[in-house]
A = this chain, B = another copy of it.
């Protein structure tokens, strides 16, 4: 089988770097171009010190060279370019938020701008294989969900779909610092973050409408979800701790989860509350159910840059091109 020709825009952020490293080791991928305006003309090895060879970043990708383009550009920047790539017949897998929300009316509220291409929102498929594997397989525009959204949706989808998630869900999510991206800022400086934890975006985080959208599609009525994010002094990992009332036996809920994920390649139920480190540098999402009185506590752990971004994007590539879902994603687990 011929390899698929792939390019990556925005290859010098953390999601982009992780993605490029995965694609370089993917047996069916031929990496054609890496795009970065700030690094245009500079060799790939400036960002990938273990990489040999003489290829350099380009300012703008040439859609004529690629069959698939991954966009890791910032929110709002990539949408315009994506239209051009789609017009040139290239399949697009977008890791930004630009096509995640189906309702164009949500963009001004959450991103402060009118959506530049609302006509594509209906076509875009959310790149969450556990929910949309079939649509992903035939999509030409795949919008990978946010890292927090992936964790929270996977933690709650089976309960919501089974009508067992109660009337009031709380999601308390904790993330490592790499989720904030690679651009230097005071809030992600080592000396500010180390030895500290805090909540942020309490009034409303941009991933909130993603999980509302996806979980509402599974439920008779939109669930009520409170969602608060926290910054934890670690590089990678997201843990979502979810709380809701249960009025059936826990075993019935567990059965619903096992059924929901029976065919899943990378999401799995585990017998004890997962540490984020268990899945560090892997594409796994581990989910655990426990109970305290009538309250269920679901914990879900994943690596925000892999299952929460680049790994899931590769999963989507595999589905879209008919490869095995785990191709290029069987990384060696790493402990400690």
Contacts and interface: CB of A to CB of B under 8 A. Distances in A.
B230 A174 contact: yes
Interface in A222-241: 224, 226-228, 230, 232-237, 239, 241
Nearest to A168: B168
Interface string A259-285: 000000000001001111111111010
A172 interface: yes
A282 B239 contact: no
A213 to B, nearest CB: 16
B182 A184 contact: no
Contact of A280 (B192, B195, B274): B195
Given A188-B190, A332-B21, A198 B239 contact: yes
A102 interface: no
Interface in A152-171: 168, 170
A186 interface: yes
A227 B228 CA distance: 16
Contacts of A193: 190
A293 interface: yes
Bin the interface of chain A by size.
35 or more
A18 interface: yes
B190 A182 contact: no
B270 A243 contact: no
Interface string A47-59: 0111000000000
A172 B278 contact: no
A24 B48 CA distance: 27
A2 interface: no
Nearest to A292: B226
B273 A202 contact: yes
Interface of A: 14, 17-18, 21-22, 24-25, 48-50, 168, 170, 172, 174, 176-178, 182, 184-186, 188-200, 202-204, 224, 226-228, 230, 232-237, 239, 241, 243, 245, 270, 273-282, 284, 286, 290-293, 295, 297, 299, 301, 330-336
23 contacts: A14-B191, A21-B335, A25-B330, A50-B278, A168-B168, A172-B172, A177-B194, A178-B336, A189-B190, A190-B194, A190-B235, A195-B276, A197-B232, A198-B239, A199-B239, A202-B299, A203-B291, A204-B292, A224-B293, A227-B292, A228-B243, A243-B243, A281-B332
Nearest 5 A/B pairs, CB to CB: A196-B277, A191-B336, A172-B172, A184-B184, A198-B275
